[in-house]
Amino acid sequence: MNVLVCISNVPDTTSKINFKEENTSFETQGVQFIINPNDEFGLTRAVWLQQKEAAKVTVITVGDASCEPILRKCLAIGADQAVRIDLQPQDGFEVAAQLTAFCQTNAYDLIITGRESIDYNGGMVGGMLATNLNMPYLANCIQLEIEGVDLQLQREIDGGKESLQANLPIVIGAQKGLVEEKDLIIPNMRGIMQARQKSLEVIAPIETEAATTVEVFEKPPEKGPVKLVDANDIDGLIDLLEKEAKVL
C-alpha cells in the first residue's frame, strides 16, 4: 500500500502573530515552524500502517527550501521518503492543483491531509484534491481501520460522530482523535540519523494560478481590561452580563 501524507509548514502554536510590509505578509522572523498538528496526527497514523501493513509512506509539501527541516523531521518520525514541490503557494487551491498533478503521475492508495492548517485555516486542500482526483474525501477523520481495500472510518460531526465505510483509494482529513496526542512519535537519535540517508526529492512545480490572494492582514482590536467582580457578588456578575453585555 502506498500512502501519501501532505504536510504543511506552520508557525508553532505559541507564536505571536505579526505582519510586515504594511501588513501584507506574515513576519517569520523569530517564529519557530512546525509540522501542522493536524498533519502530524495523520503522519503518525501512516507510520502505524507502515509498521503493521508494510505500507510505504511518502510525505510531500508544496513550499520553498525553508520547509525542508520539517520534511526531515517527518523522515525522522518514520516516513520512507519526502518530496518537495518547489513553489511558494498563494492559497490552498494552488496547493491542491500542485498535489493533483503529482498524484496523477504517482498513484497512492491512501492520501492523508490535515483537517486544516493552523495558519490560514483554509481547510480546503483535502476536499479539492480528492474531487480533482475523483476520489472520495472524508473530512475530520477520527478513525481509520483498513482490512484489504475495505475501510471503516469515523468523522467527527457537530455534537457526535458518524461511522462510514469506503474502499481504497481515498483522501482523508486527519485531526486529533485519529491518533491520540500521547501517540505522536518523538524522533529518537536513530530516526534522526536514518532520516539523513532517506530521499528528499525536490521537483519543479507545474504552472498554476491561485484562486485567491490575501490583500492585507489585520490584527484583532486591542481589548480593554477585564472587569473584576468580587467572588461574593454573584448578583453583580449576573447584572453585568444581563444589562451591560446583554448576553443573558
241 binds another protein (CB under 8 A): yes
Select the residue interacting with another protein from 34, 67, 77, 139 (CB under 8 A).
139
Select the residue interacting with another protein from 60, 142, 144, 179 (CB under 8 A).
142
Supply the DSSP string of 87-129, one letter for each residue: ---SSHHHHHHHHHHHHHHS--SEEEEES--TTT----HHHHH
Question: Is the Cβ–Cβ distance between 35 and 73 less than 8 Å?
Answer: yes
Nearest distance, CB of residue 137 and another protein, angstroms: 6
Question: Restricting to residues 191-220, which ones interact with another protein according to CB under 8 A?
Answer: 209-220
CB neighbour list of residue 197: distance below 8 Å, 6 or more residues apart: none
28 binds another protein (CB under 8 A): no
Between 1 and 135, whose beta carbon lies closer to another protein? 135
Question: Is the Cβ–Cβ distance between 42 and 48 less than 8 Å?
Answer: no
64 binds another protein (CB under 8 A): no
- b or e along 57-79 (b: 16 or more beta carbons within 10 Å of the residue's beta carbon)? bbbbbbbeeebbebbbbbbbbbb
Give the Cα separation of 8 and 228 in Å (integer).
41
Q: Which one of 46-54, 61-69, 70-78, 163-171 is the stretch in contact with another protein (CB under 8 A)?
A: 163-171
Nearest distance, CB of residue 15 and another protein, angstroms: 8
Question: Restricting to residues 72-91, which ones interact with another protein according to CB under 8 A?
Answer: none
Select the residue interacting with another protein from 159, 197, 222, 243 (CB under 8 A).
159
111 binds another protein (CB under 8 A): no
